[in-house]
Amino acid sequence: MAKVKVFSTQSCPWCTRVKDFLKENKVEFEDINVGSDRKAAMEMVSMSGQQGVPQIQIDNTIIVGFNEPAIRKELNL
């Protein structure tokens, strides 16, 4: 099973949609609030070069934004 992390903030509607999508598809994930965790925010930017959320890490792949086709492909959904 893939290791999934969602880098998000509380006020981000697209972050909520990503997390709802993963829950609906019974995908376990770690939710990392980069709005309150500066170290995690720096890690996120260093991995992708992007500051926007959501960012989804599936194993070694980074997906910026709620790109459902890319998420489905990486998770074989």
Instruction: Report pLDDT for 6.
Output: 98
- Is the model's pLDDT at 1 over the cut of 90? no
Domains of the chain: 4-75 (3.40.30.10)
Instruction: Report pLDDT for 75.
Output: 97
| Rounded Cα–Cα distance for residues 8 and 12 (Å) | 7
Return all residues near 14 (Cβ < 8 A) that are at least 6 apart: 53, 54, 65, 66
Mean pLDDT of the chain: 96
HEC string of the chain equals CCCEEEEECCCCHHHHHHHHHHHHCCCCCEEEECCCCHHHHHHHHHHHCCCCCCEEEECCEEEECCCHHHHHHHHCC
Instruction: Tell me the per-residue pLDDT of 22-34, one tens digit each, with 9 for 90 and over.
Output: 999 999 999 999 9
